[in-house]
Structure 1
Amino acid sequence: MNLEQFEDLYAQLIALTPDIQGVALIANEGTVLFQTGETVADETIIGVAGAAVMRLAEHISAGLLAECNTQEITIRCHRHAAFFAAVGADTLLMLVLPADTDTRPLVGMVASLTNALPHNK
């Protein structure tokens, strides 16, 4: 995903979920590739979440839950929720939202939006 695609994805996400406070595209090893708004600055948390999502994806795709084609993890504090979802073989998308946000509907929405990007066709 390039910067223009990231900015387009951000605009689409904000249109669908206006309470998003920040978005970041993160490489599996924890490097922030692009970001906008308020995001998690702690690379340790980003790395742990990234590793958890990727490990979960490996186990689900190889096990009894192979029909589950999207994986995500949400980390919450008292004010914020950081939602992480795999958006490719080597990248994660992080959305920062208010803590009381139900992130479950975001899984399908993020998958639909990222699958529509030119690099995924």
Structure 2
Amino acid sequence: MNQDMFDDLNAQLHVMSPEIHGAALISNEGAVIFQEGETVADQSIIGIAGAAVMRLAEHISAGLAECPVQEISVRCDRHAALFVPVGADALLMLVLSADTDTRPLAGAIPAMVSALSQ
């Protein structure tokens, strides 16, 4: 995914959910590739932690009858962080209001990424 595709994806996601405060594209190695809006102050920590959480989720899901990971959510009182795999080598992190229902976003993101890739 290049910067233009990331920007297009963000624009589509903001139309779908105005509660998005920020987004980051993170490589499976933990590097923050692109970032927009409010995410976190320390990009290296969120990149490494996001990649580690996704690897852990994939390991757990492999033990659950090959159930593929669709999303991971982390919530606190004010915010939620949604991690969604986008291809084989990256994941998208969205920072949203804590009360946002993340399921529609998690379901739509793979199709949006696929359409942008064509």
TM-score (norm 1): 0.83
Aligned residues with identical type, % of pairs: 54
- With over 3 angstroms needed to count, the CA separation of the structure-2 counterparts of 1:77 and 1:64, relative to structure 1, is closer
- Where does residue 9 of structure 1 map in the other structure? 9
**Contact kept? 2:26, 2:50, Cα under 8 Å:** no
Gaps of 5+ in 1: none
TM-score (norm 2): 0.85
- With over 3 angstroms needed to count, the CA separation of the structure-2 counterparts of 1:16 and 1:46, relative to structure 1, is same
Query: SS at 1:21's partner residue?
Result: strand
Deviation at 1:17, TM superposition (A): 0.8
Query: SS at 1:6's partner residue?
Result: helix
Name the aligned partner's letter for residue 80 of structure 1. H
Query: SS at 1:112's partner residue?
Result: helix
Query: SS at 1:23's partner residue?
Result: strand
CA RMSD of aligned residues (A): 1.9
- Where does residue 53 of structure 2 map in the other structure? 52
Gaps of 5+ in 2: none
